[in-house]
Structure 1
Amino acid sequence: MVGIALLRREQKAESEDERLLKLFRNRIELKKEFAKLRLEGQRLQEQLQQQENVTLRSQQQLEELEGMLAHPVQAANATIFYQLRGVWDHCQRKLARLAEELLTHQRNREMKLELDQFNAGNKAELAVFERHLQQALKQDKATGKEVESLKHQYMRSPGVWNYFKRKAIATQIESAQEAHQTAMANLQQCLEKKRNKASEHLPVFEGVTVEGRRKINLMLIAIAQELYLHFSKRNISGLAREASVRQVSDVNYGDVNVCRDLNIHIEKRLRSLPSGKNLVARARNRIAYLERCAGYRQEADTVPVAGSFAEIPLVVNDSGDVRGQRSVSINVLADEYWEVYSILLT
């Protein structure tokens, strides 16, 4: 009885130890979860604070804009400011959209060229395999006929008196059969090569080449130059660039009449802006000129050195030659007009 009581007491003690150990483990897990929740709470609090700051700045800008709109001259200047920002955003979106279209066109062109080259090479090799196959077929038929002919001679030479003749024919049959086996193996090999070649998978397109990406980038730079020239009168391009980085409270374009005239001029230039297709056609003449000017730091680089294009010729003919001496000292790449640098393919 005493032994049983001691055993029960020990089992009870072990059970309590296990329960304490389990509670201790649960406490550790709870501490970990609490630490995670505290970090998450801090992150959300910081995010909320950032959002409140953004909201506060937006509210301040709105109040500032409301104050400006209450003043006729400031209201007119604010209108021009946001109109210029619209010009900048419109040109940037147009350039980005044309970049996607040019990339798609170049990718399709290179894929087709690669496929055509693969098919042409495949066709030429298949023609060689077919020629070898026909030769192997002829050899197989010839050796097969030779074996059959010798067997026929062997069968037509019965009797003891034809012993030596039959022996000679048997030797010839053995040699002919070896030749036939070789011809059959060669035929099978030719068939296998032709099947393998015909079942080759199309090459995996690894992306637009460096040359292709350079071509696209030069076209985008040429388009950016055309956009600059289109909005160059009354320095709309330069004003739009300033508006993209400045605040509305920092600008002053003139009195109400000046702003009204500027507003009308900007609207006219926006309406007369060529479509994407026409813009590409106008920029195409500049490609040959830009190719001569472009410099690259390394052979694998696709973005030219910004200093390659220090000015924009006003007129470039079909062969890429500059007509006349007129140009503007603007570097659309270095000055990041229409955010062209971020659009170029790397």
Structure 2
Amino acid sequence: MEFSDRLSNLRQLLGQSARQPVEDERLLQLYWNRAELKKELSRLQDERHKLIEQLNKHEATFARNSEQLLQLEEFLGNPETGPHGLVYFQLRALWRASSAKVARFAQQLQQQQADREQRRQVLEFDRARRQQLADFDRRIAAARSRAGMLEAQLKLQETKLEKMRGFWNYARRRRLAEEIAAEREQWDLAATEVTDLSDDRIALEEKAPPALQGISVDGRRIVNTAVIAYAQQLVVAMSAGGLAVLAKETITKRVFDMKYGTREDCSRLMTLLREALAIVKNEKDDLSGLKERTDALRAVAAYRSDADTVPLTDSIGTLPVPVAPVSGLETGNKAGVNVLVDDYWDLYQALLQ
């Protein structure tokens, strides 16, 4: 074989060995890309299954709601059952309006109590700060007096040192110079103490009162008892027509299961409901008697522990069961109305825990 042929074969072998790592790297990159694509495909398939499940749930909910809406249309469109549906939904509207009224009342009391406790906290902070500032003033005055005395002594010693002349006073000058150095160190410490105390006093004077971390247990009890008394007062305000009890029933019973007597009975109930809704939606609350009811409630309210803020249900008492204006609608709760036990007007959502 010619030398040129051998050289050509050698060059081919060298070229193949040089290209081999590059091809391996490309194959490895393709493998990783394929693995990433498979992972992404799996994720998309899982997401597709979840979306299909959500779509099926929405379709089932839509079908169920459509069926209920059709039943409701037939119920309201029937002259025999329609008036009962109107009373039912007006009672639900009365419940929602009363719940919103209790919630607003609770929020107002909560804000008032928070403002009251914040003002009390600021007053206590200012009183403590005034005492601390007076203490700083006394300490600063004492430190300044000591620094002034040391400064005066230092000047006398320095004057005395200047008057000592002659080699025979060398030893005395040396001792006096050491004394002056020690006194200057003490004066530096006293002057530094004055500066530090003054800086601390300025920082204390500029310190802002701390923010209220939360209403106290006693404050939350004050708010809660007032809200409970307010819920009781709303029940009493609607006791003449028994509307509170009837409105409570709409929370647990369906419209199709409720009957409110004859058409004349339904008309009479809707007249009472119109008057009750006007009272509830009136922005000017009639709070007459609320303070007396709240004070009486606080006098008997008992709590499970010192940290609890909601009274025990048995301790708040019960209200007389109102007489329903329609025969046959008397409530089964003959023992009376307990606004906490029955959670009237969604009371627990308004109370501070």
Distance 1:304 1:277 in 2: 28
2:295 aligned residue: 288
Letter in 2 for 1:130: D
1 CA distance for matches of 2:106 and 2:20?
77
What are the within-5 Å matches in structure 2 for residues 141-156 of structure 1?
Answer: 141-149=148-156
Q: One-letter code of the match for 1:331?
A: N
User: 1:332 matched to which residue of 2?
Assistant: 339
Q: Deviations over 1:210-265 (max 9, x none)?
A: 22222222222111111111112221111111112222111100111111111001
Give the match for residue 6 of structure 1.
Answer: 13
Q: Distance in 2 between matches of 1:37 and 1:280?
A: 61
Q: 1:41 and 1:28, CA in 2 relative to 1: closer, same or farther beyond 3 A?
A: same
| 2:274 pairs with 1:267 | yes
Paired amino acid for 1:221: I
Correspondence for 1:135 = 142
Which of 61, 79, 85 aligns to 2:92? It is 85
Equivalent position of 1:255 in the other structure: 262
Aligned length: 334
Q: Does the CA contact (< 8 Å) of 1:94 and 1:276 recur in 2?
A: no
Counterparts of 2:160 and 2:21 in 1: how far apart (Å)? 102
Cα shift readout 1:157-192 (whole Å, capped 9, x = no counterpart): 889999999999989877865664554344334323
Shift of the 130–274 alpha-carbon distance from structure 1 to 2, 3 Å rule, reads: farther
2: distance between equivalents of 1:8 and 1:175? 88
Unaligned runs of 5+ in 1: 315-326
**Selected match of 2:81 from 74, 87, 91:** 74
Q: 1:245 and 2:252 equivalent?
A: yes
Deviation at 1:109, TM superposition (A): 1.9
Residue type at the aligned position of 2:272: H
Give the superposition deviation at 1:20.
Answer: 3.3
Q: CA RMSD in A?
A: 3.4
1:51 equivalenced with 2:58 (yes/no): yes
Q: Counterpart of 1:32? A: 39
* Aligned partner of residue 278 in structure 1, secondary structure: coil
In the alignment, which of 224, 229, 235 is matched to residue 217 of structure 1?
A: 224
Confirm or deny that 1:233 pairs with 2:235: no
| TM alignment of 1:115-134, pairs within 5 A | 115-134=122-141
Whether the 8 Å CA contact 2:98–2:280 is kept in 1: the answer is no
> Which whole-Å CA distance do the structure 2 matches of 1:17 and 1:169 have between them?
90
Distance apart, 1:26 and its partner CA: 2.1
Kindly indicate whether residue 116 of structure 2 is the aligned counterpart of residue 109 of structure 1: yes
For residues 150 and 102 of structure 2, what CA distance do their matches in structure 1 show? 71
Any stretches of 5+ residues in structure 2 without a counterpart?
Answer: 1-7, 322-333
Structure-2 separation of matches of 1:46 and 1:171: 93
Percent identity of equivalent pairs: 31
* Structure-to-structure mapping, 1:278-317, within 5 angstroms: 278=285, 282-312=289-319
Following the alignment from structure 2 to structure 1, what is the Cα–Cα distance between the partners of residues 183 and 39?
Answer: 86
Q: Distance in 1 between matches of 2:187 and 2:345?
A: 75
1:193 Cα shift? Answer: 3.3
3-state SS in 1 of match to 2:307: coil
Deviations 1:73-124 (A, max 9, x none): 3111111011000001101111222222222222222222212211111111
How does the TM-score come out when normalised to structure 2? 0.80
After the TM superposition, which segments of 4 or more aligned residues of structure 1 sit over 6 Å from their partners?
153-176
2:48 to 17, 41, 46: 41
- Partner secondary structure for residue 312 of structure 1: coil
Distance 1:310 1:57, change over 3 A: farther
- The answer on 1:208 being equivalent to 2:215 is yes
Contact 2:102 2:345 in 1 (8 A): yes
Residues 210, 302 of structure 1: 8 Å contact kept: yes
Change (3 A) 1:305 1:38: farther
Cα separation, 1, equivalents of 2:179 and 2:72: 108
Contact 2:97 2:280 in 1 (8 A): no
* 8 A Cα contact 2:94 2:276, kept in partner: no
Bigger mean CA deviation after superposition, 35-44 or 249-258: 35-44
- More displaced, 89-98 or 161-170? 161-170
TM-score, normalised to structure 1, is 0.82
How far did residue 313 of structure 1 move?
A: 7.7
The verdict on how the C-alpha distance between 1:9 and 1:221 changes in structure 2, with shifts beyond 3 A counting, is same
Contact 1:295-1:308 at 8 Å conserved across structures: yes
Between 195-204 and 91-100, report the one with greater CA deviation: 195-204
SS of residue paired to 2:135: helix
Is the 1:333–1:341 Cα contact (8 Å) retained in structure 2? yes
Three-state SS of the structure 2 residue aligned to 1:137 is: helix
Q: 2:101·2:280 contact (CA, 8 Å) conserved in 1? A: no
